[in-house]
Amino acid sequence: MKMVDQIAAIPLFRGLARKQHEDLAMILMEQVFKRGNSIFFDGDEASGFYVVVSGRVKIFKLSPEGKEQILHIFGPGEPFGEVAVFTGRRFPANAEALEETRVFFILRAAFVDLVRQDPSLALNMLAELSMRLRRFTLLVENLSLKEVPGRLAAYLLYLSEGKKGINEVVLDISKNQLASLLGTIPETLSRILARMTREGFIQSSGQRQIRLLDRQGLEELASGERRLA
Amino acid sequence: MKMVDQIAAIPLFRGLARKQHEDLAMILMEQVFKRGNSIFFDGDEASGFYVVVSGRVKIFKLSPEGKEQILHIFGPGEPFGEVAVFTGRRFPANAEALEETRVFFILRAAFVDLVRQDPSLALNMLAELSMRLRRFTLLVENLSLKEVPGRLAAYLLYLSEGKKGINEVVLDISKNQLASLLGTIPETLSRILARMTREGFIQSSGQRQIRLLDRQGLEELASGERRLA
DNA sequence: CGTGGCCTTGATAAAGTTCAAGAGCCGTGG
DNA sequence: CCACGGCTCTTGAACTTTATCAAGGCCACG
């Protein structure tokens, strides 16, 4: 695919004039990262930001003892690292490729110029950051107000969203990574999956396939109305 | 003070032309809330957003069992509720006045028009939202990767920031509210303050005065290098 | 066929919450 | 001016949830 078309396909750049897409094509650079490679580190100086073209990227924090908390997982079309464009100049967390990943890198100054020129780009970015804040609100709510079974139930329901009738979900990340996303450790996650299975909420086949046997029950777990025995 | 001057004093509106400040003065409405009054609820339809003129506002989530997690506390000059302007149309959390509070309320459509016209307003808002995301990153890090003593130590150091030489901090909120901000409950906070006192990190006089006796030690607690006995 | 990553399970320990009771403080109204 | 009621804060004991440490199974890949 031609680069301009790839750019036009990115939601952040939707509604821009062809001319602007061409400008972007001039100022951005393409990079490829292999699975497990770091894209940037918490505290690094940021000279620009990224957009995922293909593959997936996790954004995460590390504790001194090495525990990891995943903040986001971004896929194709999603920007990351933009926070450092508008404040602080340093990345507030780490970024690493979860699989072979292609990204566009866009220099700060060039991008800010574009934002200044084009209100719809500004509004797109505002929408993106607002969405991000909304998700963070949920993450904080989960971490602080729900126990691990509730967080897991919420995640399973989230995975099955929009799939009416189909109660089979496929985890899109390893259980280790899922534990880190849910703010716990693999052992705890494993035990809770076992309990949910024992109590008839779910049934799993293979490492990543989970059948939701009791959606309603899961919703009650997620909202805190019910708890595991 | 005249309204236009009050508007000009708000960081979000810095760099705008006088004309724009006058436009804003036309479209915004002033409201007053008493201590403890709700400004909006999680899930409410949002027709606009707010800026604190005087007083303070807490933004928080509630669990079904009634536990509260404070997400932000905003003071004079700070906008809140903007997330609903750019996505989703509903407020993602609750807002309540911590004391007698005056706010400006700005309608969504009018504000979006202004953003469209003025790139520097857009950039100011982008900076604001980015800062907000950065703070959330810290909040998640604290909740997930630090234990309560570490969070408390970090908060005390935060309060004393910029005050070189002065090791006396004054809590700006009640201990109940502080517990909610740190993602715990008053009992736990109370116990940890007692332990910190016993171990010589701090000393308190009155309900809200705390003297930091061992800044270095607190920093080690905050970063996880050290733990309470 | 062996090695390493991922996942599971058990025993133990730590951190935090819940429940209960009581002390201190403040503003209101008698 | 004092007493009452309410709120905040503290402390103790029991309990719950989660993490830690240790070991073993499974599977894919070289």
What is the Cα–Cα distance from B152 to A131, expressed in whole angstroms? 29
Spell out the residues 6+ positions from residue A225 whose beta carbon is closer than 8 angstroms to its own. B64
Whether the CB of A224 is below 8 Å from some CB of chain B: the reply is: yes
Q: Which domains does chain B have, with CATH numbers?
A: 3-143 (2.60.120.10), 147-223 (1.10.10.10)
Written as tens digits, the pLDDT of chain B (229 aa) is 788 899 999 999 998 999 999 989 999 999 999 888 999 999 999 999 999 999 999 999 999 888 999 999 999 999 999 999 999 899 999 999 999 999 999 999 999 999 999 999 999 999 999 999 999 999 999 999 999 999 999 999 999 988 877 888 999 999 999 999 999 999 999 999 999 999 999 999 888 999 999 999 999 999 999 999 8
Task: Tell me if B69 and A140 make a contact (CB, 8 A cut-off).
Answer: yes
| Nearest residue to B112 (alpha-carbon basis) of B82, B134, B137 | B82
Q: Distance from CA of residue B71 to its chain's centroid?
A: 7
| Nearest residue to B196 (alpha-carbon basis) of B161, B163, B229 | B229
Tell me which residues of chain A have a pLDDT lower than 70.
none
State residue A211's pLDDT score.
Answer: 95
State residue A14's pLDDT score.
Answer: 92
State residue B125's pLDDT score.
Answer: 97
From A221, which residue of chain B is nearest by alpha-carbon distance?
A: B64
State residue A205's pLDDT score.
Answer: 87
Beta bridge partners of B210: B169, B204
From A133, which residue of chain B is nearest by alpha-carbon distance?
A: B133
Half-sphere exposure (CA, 13 Å, Cβ side) for B98? 20
> Å between A187 CA and D23 C1'?
13
**pLDDT tens-place string over residues A153-205:** 999 999 998 887 788 999 999 999 999 999 999 999 999 999 999 999 999 98
Q: Coil, strand or helix: which one is A172?
A: coil
State residue B207's pLDDT score.
Answer: 84
State residue A80's pLDDT score.
Answer: 98
With tokens 């340093």, the residue in question is A90
State residue B11's pLDDT score.
Answer: 96
Q: Model-level pTM?
A: 0.94
Strand C lies under 7 A from the Cβ of residue B65: yes
State residue B136's pLDDT score.
Answer: 97
State residue A88's pLDDT score.
Answer: 83
